[in-house]
């Protein structure tokens, strides 16, 4: 193994170690603890409806679970933003710059740490869906796609939190963005451009699949923006190119196919 290959291998190991360390800290941070509470609250309301009602459905009653995890994603963004600002907040930037791990490795570790809340949200959603499918009602294909998108949305906002910390290093910015995301809703009259909303509910599985690609593209773009100041030029370019292509193609397909005549597939 050449020295360059050895350095690359060592760098990946250090980056993964930092990602695991930061990820574990994220899972027990105040932001994620609040996120767990909101997810459990939304799920509890849905379960209570299942106990007290005879005709429970994901369409009419499952929205509380969706809202709970939507807020979960917002708290994840605030938590990752807070974690990414740790050096600035605690005045440890100079100490960390003196370590063998350069800025690319440290930034990569923070971005990869956002996978931990995503995994937790996905596991929780999987357990909820599997349990309710056995006990109450089996979700449709479109509803399952909505669940998948909700999990990805956690990763999307997690990387957005790191990107905001990189370019707007102020702890008050992420809560303001989270509040804006919470209050902004799609208009009552459906239109094709509504597909750009992160959790737009599309009425067919293929369109929901394209919307999933759209969210993955946004996640890649935010990750690239978060790494832009670290010097990881290749990773930044790759993330931005792949993310932009995914977003551009998926939005073009959705906008052209989402409305048939005067009927929109929402």
- The reported pLDDT for the residue numbered 199 is 77
Determine the pLDDT at residue 87: 64
Q: Which two tokens stand for residue 228?
A: 């832009």
Residue 208 confidence (pLDDT) above 80: yes
Instruction: Decide if 93 contacts 87 (C-beta within 8 A).
Output: yes
pLDDT tens-place string over residues 54-78: 776 666 777 888 889 999 999 999 9
Residues 132 and 46 sit within 8 Å (Cβ to Cβ)? yes
SS3 (DSSP) at 259: strand
Confidence tier at 6 by pLDDT (50, 70, 90): very low
**Global pTM?**
0.85
Pair of tokens at residue 160: 């957005």
* Residue 249: CB atoms within 10 Å: 14
Pairwise CA distance, residues 158 & 152, whole Å: 10
Dist. CA 72–CA 94, nearest whole Å = 33
Cα 90 from Cα 33, distance rounded (Å):
22
- Token duo for residue 208: 């929901």
Higher pLDDT among residues 61 and 44, named by residue: 44
In the predicted structure, residue 256 carries a pLDDT above the cut 80: yes
Please, what is the average pLDDT of the chain? 82
Q: Give the pLDDT confidence of 123-170 residue by residue, as tens digits.
A: 999 888 888 777 766 677 777 888 889 999 999 999 999 999 989 989
Rg (CA), the chain: 20
Contact between 49 and 61 under an 8 Å Cβ cutoff? The reply is yes
Our measurement of the distance from residue 157's CA atom to the centroid of its chain's CA atoms, rounded to an integer in Å, reads 4
Nearest-angstrom CA–CA distance, 190 and 201: 11
Give the pLDDT of residue 57.
Answer: 67
Kindly tell me if the per-residue pLDDT of 5 is higher than 60.
Answer: no
Q: What is the pLDDT of residues 78-135, one digit of tens each?
A: 999 998 888 666 554 544 454 555 667 778 888 999 999 999 999 999 888 888 777 7
Contact 138, 189 (CB under 8 A): no
- Integer Cα distance of 37 and 7 in angstroms: 42
State the pLDDT confidence band at 3, using cuts at 50, 70 and 90: very low
Length of the chain: 266
Q: Which string of DSSP letters, residue by residue, matches 114-136?
A: THHHHHHHHHHHHHHHHHHHHHT
What CA–CA distance (Å, rounded) separates 242 from 197? 20
């Amino acid at each position: 193994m050449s020295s360059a290959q050895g350095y690359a291998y060592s760098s990946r190991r250090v980056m993964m170690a930092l990602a695991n360390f930061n990820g574990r800290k994220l899972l027990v941070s105040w932001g994620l603890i609040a996120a767990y509470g909101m997810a459990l609250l939304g799920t509890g309301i849905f379960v209570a409806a299942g106990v007290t009602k005879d005709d429970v459905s994901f369409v009419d009653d499952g929205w509380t679970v969706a809202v709970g995890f939507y807020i979960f994603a917002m708290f994840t963004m605030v938590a990752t933003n807070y974690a990414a600002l740790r050096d600035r907040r605690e005045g440890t930037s100079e100490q960390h710059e003196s370590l063998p791990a350069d800025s690319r490795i440290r930034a990569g570790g923070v971005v990869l740490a956002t996978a931990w809340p995503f995994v937790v949200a996905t596991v929780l959603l999987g357990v909820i869906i599997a349990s309710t499918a056995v006990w109450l009602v089996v979700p449709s294909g479109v509803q399952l796609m909505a669940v998948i998108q909700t999990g990805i949305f956690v990763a999307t906002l997690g990387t957005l939190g790191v990107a905001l910390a990189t370019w707007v290093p102020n702890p008050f910015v992420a809560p303001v963005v989270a509040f804006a995301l919470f209050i902004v809703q799609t208009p009552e009259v459906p239109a094709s451009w509504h597909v750009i909303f992160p959790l737009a509910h599309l009425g067919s599985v293929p369109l929901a699949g394209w919307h999933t690609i759209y969210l993955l593209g946004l996640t890649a773009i935010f990750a690239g923006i978060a790494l832009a100041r670290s010097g990881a030029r290749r990773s930044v370019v790759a993330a931005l190119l792949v993310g932009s292509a995914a977003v551009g193609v998926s939005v073009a397909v959705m906008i052209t196919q989402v409305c048939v005549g005067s009927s929109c597939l929402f």
